[in-house]
Amino acid sequence: MSSKRSVWRNRPNGVTVRRNIVAQYWASRPVELLTSPALRILSRAAHLALLRIEIELRNHAGQANGKLIVTHEQFIEYGVRRHQVASALRELEALDLIIITVHGRGGNAVHREPNRFLLNYLCGAVDAHEQITNSWNRIQTMKEAGAIARAARANKNPAKVSYGFRISGRKSKTFPTPRNRGRNHPTK
């Protein structure tokens, strides 16, 4: 028996269709995106996060764009630092390279739900073409893209920050600044 997979597959509704071999193994980005300020201004963490989401699309053979689930731990395993995952996702969403279709939340097993991602450019996905807006091309200059990316990285949700402090057991709610970096100021 051959170890090669068949080019045909059966859908759940009983229809036999050709397997999307290219979308499973090849990632593509439009040249317009590659030359755009939105992609060129990305931080390293945001580039890695975008690549990890593209890999998830390839793992689904180009299917389920808009329903892609990548967990926090998967981003970390791929090389995004733990404290940079949230800011990288905010940056990608602000520059309109991805759309988070469902904002997940952590917590206990009953309420836990992962984020679901849509790649907002033609990337070899078989479905979800009607949802893709290519709105990242509205950004015309590197300066404008840099301002959007910096603002997104800095735009932390105070409720999520306080939740993180509560569950981590930290005694300080002081954010590191150049003046107090490395010092803990316990709150009373």
pLDDT one-digit tens code per residue, 114-126? 899 999 888 777 7
**How much is the pTM?**
0.74
Q: What is the pLDDT of residue 90?
A: 95
Task: Give residues with Cβ within 8 angstroms of 32, minimum separation 6.
Answer: 137
Inter-residue contact 155 to 90 (CB < 8 Å) = yes
- The dihedral over CA atoms of 116, 138, 39, 117, expressed in degrees to the nearest 10, equals 0
User: What does the domain layout of the chain look like in residue ranges?
Assistant: 14-168
CA dihedral for 46, 51, 52, 56, sign (positive or negative): positive
Q: What is the pLDDT of residue 142?
A: 94
Q: What is the pLDDT of residues 133-179, one digit of tens each?
A: 888 889 999 999 999 999 999 998 888 778 777 777 655 555 555 55
Tell which residue, 31, 77, 33, has the closest CA to residue 52.
Answer: 77
Mean pLDDT, all residues of the chain = 81
The answer on pLDDT for 91 being more than 90 is yes
